[in-house]
Amino acid sequence: MARESGPSLSILAVEALYFLAPNAKQRFLATLPGAILAVGCWIGLSYLLGVYFRHFANFNKTYGTLGAAIALMVWLYWTGGGFSASAFACSALILSLILEVTAKLVEPPHVCKAY
Protein backbone atom coordinates (compact mmCIF):
# COMPACT_ATOMS: atom_id res chain seq x y z
CA MET A 1 0.00 0.00 0.00
CA ALA A 2 2.76 2.46 0.88
CA ARG A 3 4.61 1.80 -2.37
CA GLU A 4 1.59 2.85 -4.44
CA SER A 5 0.68 5.88 -2.34
CA GLY A 6 4.21 7.32 -2.19
CA PRO A 7 4.32 8.90 -5.65
CA SER A 8 0.75 10.14 -5.43
CA LEU A 9 1.40 11.83 -2.08
CA SER A 10 4.60 13.32 -3.49
CA ILE A 11 2.67 14.66 -6.49
CA LEU A 12 0.09 16.15 -4.13
CA ALA A 13 2.82 17.81 -2.03
CA VAL A 14 4.59 19.26 -5.06
CA GLU A 15 1.22 20.36 -6.48
CA ALA A 16 0.52 22.24 -3.25
CA LEU A 17 3.98 23.83 -3.42
CA TYR A 18 3.52 24.92 -7.04
CA PHE A 19 0.05 26.26 -6.24
CA LEU A 20 0.82 28.13 -3.02
CA ALA A 21 4.38 29.38 -3.58
CA PRO A 22 3.88 31.85 -6.45
CA ASN A 23 2.14 35.12 -5.72
CA ALA A 24 -0.41 34.67 -8.50
CA LYS A 25 -3.98 33.57 -8.95
CA GLN A 26 -4.20 30.17 -10.59
CA ARG A 27 -6.33 27.09 -10.57
CA PHE A 28 -5.17 24.16 -8.46
CA LEU A 29 -5.24 21.66 -11.32
CA ALA A 30 -3.43 24.01 -13.71
CA THR A 31 -0.12 23.17 -12.06
CA LEU A 32 -0.72 19.41 -12.03
CA PRO A 33 1.36 18.64 -15.17
CA GLY A 34 4.35 20.40 -13.64
CA ALA A 35 3.95 18.47 -10.38
CA ILE A 36 3.73 15.16 -12.24
CA LEU A 37 6.81 16.07 -14.27
CA ALA A 38 8.70 17.13 -11.13
CA VAL A 39 8.01 13.88 -9.29
CA GLY A 40 8.78 11.86 -12.41
CA CYS A 41 12.11 13.67 -12.80
CA TRP A 42 12.80 13.25 -9.10
CA ILE A 43 12.21 9.50 -9.17
CA GLY A 44 14.05 9.01 -12.46
CA LEU A 45 17.07 11.10 -11.55
CA SER A 46 17.30 9.46 -8.12
CA TYR A 47 17.29 6.04 -9.78
CA LEU A 48 19.96 7.04 -12.31
CA LEU A 49 22.11 8.59 -9.60
CA GLY A 50 21.78 5.39 -7.54
CA VAL A 51 22.93 3.34 -10.53
CA TYR A 52 25.89 5.67 -10.95
CA PHE A 53 26.84 5.46 -7.28
CA ARG A 54 26.52 1.67 -7.20
CA HIS A 55 28.49 0.92 -10.34
CA PHE A 56 30.80 3.79 -11.25
CA ALA A 57 31.48 6.15 -8.36
CA ASN A 58 33.61 5.13 -5.43
CA PHE A 59 33.27 8.05 -3.06
CA ASN A 60 34.18 6.06 0.04
CA LYS A 61 37.66 5.18 -1.23
CA THR A 62 38.29 8.65 -2.61
CA TYR A 63 36.85 10.91 0.07
CA GLY A 64 36.46 8.62 3.08
CA THR A 65 33.57 9.53 5.35
CA LEU A 66 32.86 12.73 3.41
CA GLY A 67 31.74 10.60 0.47
CA ALA A 68 28.19 10.34 1.81
CA ALA A 69 27.98 14.11 2.22
CA ILE A 70 29.23 14.64 -1.33
CA ALA A 71 26.73 12.10 -2.67
CA LEU A 72 23.95 13.88 -0.77
CA MET A 73 24.99 17.25 -2.21
CA VAL A 74 24.99 15.81 -5.75
CA TRP A 75 21.52 14.32 -5.19
CA LEU A 76 20.19 17.63 -3.81
CA TYR A 77 21.67 19.46 -6.81
CA TRP A 78 20.00 17.09 -9.28
CA THR A 79 16.71 17.26 -7.37
CA GLY A 80 16.74 21.05 -7.43
CA GLY A 81 17.47 21.03 -11.15
CA GLY A 82 14.57 18.67 -11.83
CA PHE A 83 12.16 20.74 -9.75
CA SER A 84 13.30 23.98 -11.39
CA ALA A 85 12.96 22.54 -14.90
CA SER A 86 9.47 21.23 -14.19
CA ALA A 87 8.41 24.53 -12.61
CA PHE A 88 9.64 26.33 -15.72
CA ALA A 89 7.72 23.91 -17.95
CA CYS A 90 4.59 24.37 -15.84
CA SER A 91 4.82 28.17 -16.00
CA ALA A 92 5.35 28.04 -19.76
CA LEU A 93 2.28 25.81 -20.11
CA ILE A 94 0.16 28.16 -17.99
CA LEU A 95 1.41 31.18 -19.94
CA SER A 96 0.55 29.54 -23.26
CA LEU A 97 -2.93 28.70 -21.99
CA ILE A 98 -3.44 32.29 -20.83
CA LEU A 99 -2.29 33.66 -24.17
CA GLU A 100 -4.58 31.26 -26.02
CA VAL A 101 -7.61 32.28 -23.94
CA THR A 102 -6.92 35.99 -24.26
CA ALA A 103 -6.40 35.68 -28.01
CA LYS A 104 -9.88 34.20 -28.31
CA LEU A 105 -11.42 36.93 -26.15
CA VAL A 106 -9.80 39.92 -27.80
CA GLU A 107 -10.81 40.49 -31.39
CA PRO A 108 -8.67 42.61 -33.64
CA PRO A 109 -10.07 46.11 -34.26
CA HIS A 110 -11.82 46.95 -37.51
CA VAL A 111 -9.60 48.58 -40.00
CA CYS A 112 -11.17 51.51 -41.84
CA LYS A 113 -9.51 52.80 -44.93
CA ALA A 114 -10.02 56.52 -45.42
CA TYR A 115 -9.33 57.71 -48.93
43-78: pLDDT as tens digits:
998 898 888 878 877 766 777 778 778 888 988 998
**pLDDT at residue 77, rounded to an integer:** 92
Alpha-carbon torsion angle 80, 84, 87, 93, nearest 10: -150
| pLDDT of 1 strictly over 70 | no
Instruction: Label residue 2 by pLDDT band (50, 70, 90).
Output: low
Per the prediction, the chain carries an average pLDDT of 81
